[in-house]
C-alpha cells in the first residue's frame, strides 16, 4: 500500500488562500481529495480559519461589486439588495392569497372483467 501524501498545515493554508477557500480546487492543486482538505480543516483550527477568511474575502469582493452595480443604477442590483439586505425594512416579496381553491376529486373504478358464462343459444 502506497503512502498517502502528507501536507503541512501551511501548505493546506496556502492552497486554500490561492483558491479563495474552495476545498475541491485546493485539493486539485495539492493532488489530494477534498476529503483530505476537510480533514485538515477539522484537525487544524488554523486551516479552518484560513478557509473561512478566504471565503470571507471572496464574499466581500462580491458585495463590493454589488454595491458598484447599485451605484450605477442597475435595477437588478437595487432589487436584489432590497430583497436581501433590506428585508428587515419591509422590502420582501409577498404572494397574495385572495380567495379559496376548490379541489374536485374524481375516482373511477375499473369495470370488472366479464364472467365466462356459456352463451345461451
The secondary structure of 36-70 as a DSSP string is: HHHHHHHH-HHHHHHHHHHHHHHHHHHHHHHHHHH
- Tens of pLDDT along the chain (121 residues) come to 455 669 999 999 999 999 999 999 999 999 999 999 999 999 999 999 999 999 999 999 999 999 999 999 999 999 999 999 998 898 887 666 677 777 777 667 677 666 666 655 5
CB 12 within 8 A of CB 37: yes
pTM: 0.65
**What mean pLDDT is reported for the chain?**
87
Report yes or no: 7 and 40 within 8 Å, Cβ to Cβ.
yes
As given in the structure block, the three cell numbers for residue 9 are: 498545515
Q: Alpha carbon of 9 to those of 16, 23, 58: distances in Å?
A: 11, 14, 21
Q: What are the tens digits of pLDDT across the range 49-68?
A: 999 999 999 999 999 999 99
Amino acid at each position: 500500500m502506497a503512502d498517502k501524501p502528507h501536507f503541512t498545515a501551511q501548505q493546506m493554508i496556502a492552497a486554500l488562500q490561492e483558491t479563495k477557500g474552495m476545498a475541491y480546487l485546493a485539493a486539485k492543486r495539492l493532488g489530494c481529495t477534498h476529503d483530505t482538505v476537510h480533514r485538515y480543516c477539522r484537525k487544524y483550527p488554523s486551516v479552518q480559519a484560513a478557509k473561512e477568511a478566504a471565503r470571507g474575502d471572496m464574499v466581500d469582493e462580491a458585495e463590493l461589486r454589488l454595491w458598484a452595480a447599485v451605484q450605477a443604477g442597475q435595477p437588478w442590483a437595487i432589487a436584489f439588495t432590497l430583497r436581501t439586505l433590506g428585508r428587515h425594512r419591509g422590502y420582501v416579496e409577498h404572494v397574495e392569497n385572495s380567495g379559496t381553491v376548490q379541489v374536485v376529486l374524481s375516482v373511477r373504478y375499473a369495470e370488472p372483467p366479464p364472467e365466462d358464462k356459456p352463451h345461451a343459444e
